[in-house]
A and B are shown apart, each in its own frame.
Chain A
Amino acid sequence: MKRALWTLAVLLSHWRRHPMQLATLLIGLISATALWSGVQALNQQARISYDRAAATFGGTRTAMLVASSGVTFPQKLFVDLRRAGWPVSPVLEGRIQIEGRSLRLMGIEPVTLPAEVGNAPTIGKASLQSFMTPPGEMLVAPETLADLKLAEGARPEASGTLLPPLRIQPNLVPGVLVVDIGIAQSLLKMPDQLSRLLIGKAAGKRAPLENVTGDKLRLVEPDAETDLERLTNSFHLNLTAFGLLSFFVGLFIVNSAIGLAFEQRLPVLRTLRACGVSARMLNVVLVLELVTLALAAGLIGLVCGYFIAGALLPDVAASLRGLYGAQIPGQLTLKPQWWFAGIAISILGALAAAATSLTKALRLPLLATAQPFAWQQAQRRWLTYQSALALAAFAGAGGFLWFGDSLLSGFAVLAALMLGAALILPMVLEVALSIGQRYAQQPLGVWFWADSRQQLSGLSLALMALLLALAVNVGVSTMVESFSRTFLVWLDGRLAADVYVNAANDDQAHEIKSWLRERPEVEAILPGGRADTQLAGAPIEVLGLPDHATYRDNWPLLQSADNAWTKLRPGNAALVSEQLARRLQLSVGDRIDVPASGGNWTLDVVGIYADYGNPKGQIAVNFAALTRRFPEIPLTRMGLRVAPANIPALISALKEKFGLDDRNVADQATMKAESTRIFNRTFSVTAALNTFTLAVAGIALLTSLLTLANSRLPQLAPLWAIGITRRQLAVIELLKTMSVALITTIFALPLGLLVAWCLLAIVNVKAFGWRLPFHLFPLQLLWLTGVAMAAALAASALPVIRLARMQPASLIRIFANER
């Protein structure tokens, strides 16, 4: 024990003399742990929210009964089932409009609510009595209350009815209002009607479902994976992929720092061995040292990770809300597992990165050999081995591409592709440098290329990191740009009306319409409406489009039958959104049965349209037909066709006349700006992680170069002795780094485009349900190349400057016999 401590002290003394090295090691571990755990914190946060949403009064985590046909069913079925021993609890769901905002209203029955369902949402201090007895209470998430700009206890109105006082319920999912079932029935004007029955886990005898309710109800089994989880899988996979990438890049840094420290401590290790420290003991102490460092760095990394997650959370939340409608609270809550997992990953990562060094220490020969390291042979073996692995990875990518049909296989294609590319990179560089060497005329030129080749094994990990970071950057920014371009064109088609109005209620909508009809500058009033229902077990929106040229001319259809718009008119045909069509494998000519208020509605699919950014499936039908089938939907939305010059005057007249504000009336430009803003925010997390990854790759390159710089003195000293100045040597070293970085970058560009293609053609289709056209953005590629070269320049600057300013004494030391 004492000997172990003494040995540890000897080993640790190294860091005191090489603080920079220690810093490098810690930076590597910290950045690896920080980015990984930051991303994990974000994922965890989101998962907690999904779980909460899923558990909220019977989301998908609870088995339930729903109407076999139609949207609601009579309450009597609830009583019949209870009397037959079924532990069911009723829920009624609908939408109400408060302050021009449409919110989900849920009526629950707290007395029969199964304990396991009630676990997630808690009804604060408000007692059950005041919740159940008139006027009752309306539970609301603090976020929603803030959105509504209302105070707790306020009683807003909806369609002229005074609502129960609002009570804050901190754990509630935002955008949902919860009231007692009886209050919900009266607010939604659906007396004695229920949307679903949650089935509790209580065991006991129960009569078969058919004997009690006939075929009126249908059992929906609980789903381990929530809808939100399914929808947001791609987003989290994306985050995880970035986290993992950064983690590995961080480990590259650790690997080079540990490698250097090990090389420098070889004489010390030999001496220790010579003094009688066993190889085992030495390794134990080395591992101990490493674990101690990893523990310290892991803790700092976790704290950094926490801040990274905290900084990214608003954007992540905005992305998830914009893309999937998932509500994530803006406050991080972390489970203890997160801390343990973070520390564990730091230690495991450090051990993995140190594996080669530790193996070397175990096999350390007691006497130093005079022979220089046989780099030529070793490098050839290594290159062959890596290239074989790379080919295997490419074959794997091909296999996943050919046989896979899921989001995960899409990511597997990407991972295998990137792995293969990283592994083949040294070979690519070797070939490129050999060609350079063959055509070099000058001896310095020959040395330039030959020496670059020799440096490959030392630099390759950092270059791989650079390659991966660049390829992902190229891929992701190409995807984002492609999406952006497609999205803007699509938005032009979708937002075809000039002014959008949303009245507070149906009565006001009616007044506004009458008033607008008198205005000569209004060329057309296009009423709009939407209903919520479900198709094949998943919620969908039914959009009502009036029969008007505005839609016929602008609405972006991907595929359509002849005269699709004419066929829509009678109300027995629908257009289907791309993601819904992909999910249900619908094509033009198919037929769907949509549950409507009065029973099922059979519709022919006459067209498929792009509906980017909508988490729900959507179908579009004739507006008049929609109001016939869903008579209860609010008819408060409308679009107006107005000549551009008359827009501002009309909007201010509307605001003044009907007391509308910016939330209720907007022109097309404002709507577009808003959509684009949401869109841009959606990708800001990706951009931030992109930057992080590139920065970490830059650090990896820097530390590799620093490491190499020290070990390269014996190679540079003879050149200096022969008569090449330090300045010349520094310039040559810089050029060498820049040229390998350039070759790597050039290799990264096509790889990145391949990544972009994978994202657009495989991952997006599986994740979101839409396929985007592939666009090439040469200027962006050029810009990224510039960034990569700048990163390489920044990384090589320090070692090069140090070389140029190096004291001759340091170089002489290489030759001195009397050392």
Chain B
Amino acid sequence: MNASGRITRRGFVGGALLAGFGGEALAQGFAGLGESAEGFAPVVPGRTFAFPADHGPHPEFRIEWWYVTANLSDASGNAYGTQWTLFRQAIAPGGPQDGWANQQIWMGHAAVTRADTHRFSQVFARGGVGQAGVEAKPFHAWIDAWEMRGLDPASDENIAPLELKASGADFSYTLRLGALRPLVLQGDGGYSRKSLREQASYYYSQPHYSATGILTIDDKPVDVTGMAWLDREWSSQPLASDQSGWDWLSLHFTTGDKLMLYRMRQTDGQHYGSGKWITPDGKAEQLASGDITMTPLVFTEIEKRKIPTTWRIAVPKMALSIECTPLNARSWMGTSFPYWEGPIRFAGSHTGVGYLEMTGY
């Protein structure tokens, strides 16, 4: 934990997101997500989702995020990736208080990745005063100058079209996301199990976005187009106490199919996997832990950690056998909780692009 306890941005997470709950960060899973959820609402199966209300925040749950990744390319065919994330965390249970007494802390992460560079930025805000927040209708998620805003004509089922903006010291982007198909509930009707015990989250995605926009690195703007993926997830304790992190992938096949896969790594070496295959016509196939084989092939050393940046993925049930390589093996998010997140491409039985996220290394 944060021994010196300084109030700094770095110390904020060490202090607030973790310290309030006691225990070692990694011992209790990545970013304190394995902490006990006492006083918060539990995640139970059988929830009925309602939109647009569920696009908004669920303060009775401890943590929540709005997560967009995009695989883009410019006119010359150069590949790019962007990430836009808004995290919400409640530091104390109970109904939301007004003004500064509000218990919500917001954290934004944004990144752009190119084969030769990876830029990221992190911001924090307290809830209750308007510096950050999410409104369901019209849809608007923001922190400081970053935002994700629903545009007219809004479709609640598609959660589109959207305008997405973020900027850091040395990069910025503005993207317009459109989707013609509705969002997809992950897991069992939106109930996504994270372990064999009761750890779970509510989870839905919109994997069907097309994206256009401008991204700027070092004051040099480029026009880009491509595909994007939104994840919405909330929970009170998504990690089991013996889970140290996860490896997560979102894949766009050239065929128009989409695949979401993850495995929760457990300290006993028995990993818990899950996934969902979505066909272009909107059919979804749930993948169980036993259906998935994920094998690290190449490791990259970043900040004295060995990160598996190239993977072999096999789902025999779906005749899938691919090798995923990163656009930039050093897509390291050196934020308060550091993790790896960046665009990938894959080949083998299938080809396409996607995003890889690895936490807890």
Contact = CB atoms under 8 A, between A and B. Distances in A.
Interface of A: 75-76, 78-79, 82-85, 108-115, 118-119, 121-130, 132-134, 180-183, 185, 191-192, 202-206
Interface in B1-40: 4-12, 15-16, 19-20
> Lowest 10 A-B CB distances belong to which pairs?
A182-B100, A129-B20, A203-B169, A127-B19, A128-B16, A85-B145, A128-B15, A110-B7, A79-B130, A115-B8
Contact of A85 (B99, B100, B101, B144): B144
B169 A204 contact: yes
A115 B16 contact: no
B124 interface: yes
Contacts of B11: 118
Contacts of A127: 5, 15-16, 19-20
B5 A113 contact: no
A129 B5 contact: no
Given A111-B126, A112-B126, A132-B100, 17 more contacts: A76-B130, A79-B129, A79-B131, A82-B131, A83-B131, A110-B7, A110-B12, A114-B9, A122-B5, A122-B6, A126-B5, A182-B99, A182-B101, A185-B99, A191-B99, A204-B169, A205-B167
B131 A134 contact: no
B7 A123 contact: yes
Given A85-B144, A119-B8, A204 B125 contact: no
B169 A128 contact: no
Nearest to B168: A204
Secondary structure at the A interface, as helix, strand, loop or mixed, is: loop
B58 to A, nearest CB: 20
A778 B15 CA distance: 66
B142 interface: yes
Interface centre among A83, A202, A206 (most CB of B within 10 A): A83
A205 B169 CA distance: 7
A128 B7 contact: yes
A383 to B, nearest CB: 64
A113 B123 CA distance: 11
Contact of A122 (B7, B16, B126, B144): B7
Contact of A181 (B100, B103, B170): B100
B143 to A, nearest CB: 8
Contacts of A205: 145, 167, 172
Interface residues of B, number: 35
Contact of A111 (B99, B105, B130, B167): B105
B92 interface: yes
A75 B129 contact: yes
Interface in B33-89: none
A112 B125 contact: yes
A296 to B, nearest CB: 39
Contact of A82 (B121, B144, B168): B144
A129 B92 contact: yes
B6 A118 contact: yes
Interface in B139-154: 142, 144-145
Contacts of A118: 6-8, 11
Given A82-B131, A127-B20, A113 B144 contact: no
Interface centre among A114, A121, A125 (most CB of B within 10 A): A125
Interface centre among B6, B103, B105 (most CB of A within 10 A): B6
Contacts of A129: 15-16, 19-20, 91-92
Contacts of A202: 169
B343 to A, nearest CB: 23
Contacts of A125: 5
Interface centre among A84, A124, A127 (most CB of B within 10 A): A127
Interface in B163-206: 167-170, 172
A123 B6 contact: yes
Contacts of A112: 124-126, 131
A123 B167 CA distance: 30
A111 B124 contact: yes
20 contacts: A78-B131, A83-B142, A83-B145, A110-B12, A111-B16, A111-B126, A112-B126, A113-B7, A115-B8, A118-B11, A122-B4, A128-B15, A129-B91, A132-B16, A180-B100, A182-B100, A183-B100, A185-B99, A185-B100, A191-B99
A189 to B, nearest CB: 14
A119 B126 CA distance: 20
B91 A115 contact: no
Contacts of B15: 110, 123, 127-129
A182 B99 CA distance: 8
A114 to B, nearest CB: 8
A109 B101 CA distance: 12
Contacts of A203: 169-170
Interface string B211-249: 000000000000000000000000000000000000000
A134 B100 CA distance: 10
A348 B130 CA distance: 61
A447 to B, nearest CB: 75
B10 A204 contact: no
Contacts of B16: 111, 127-129, 132
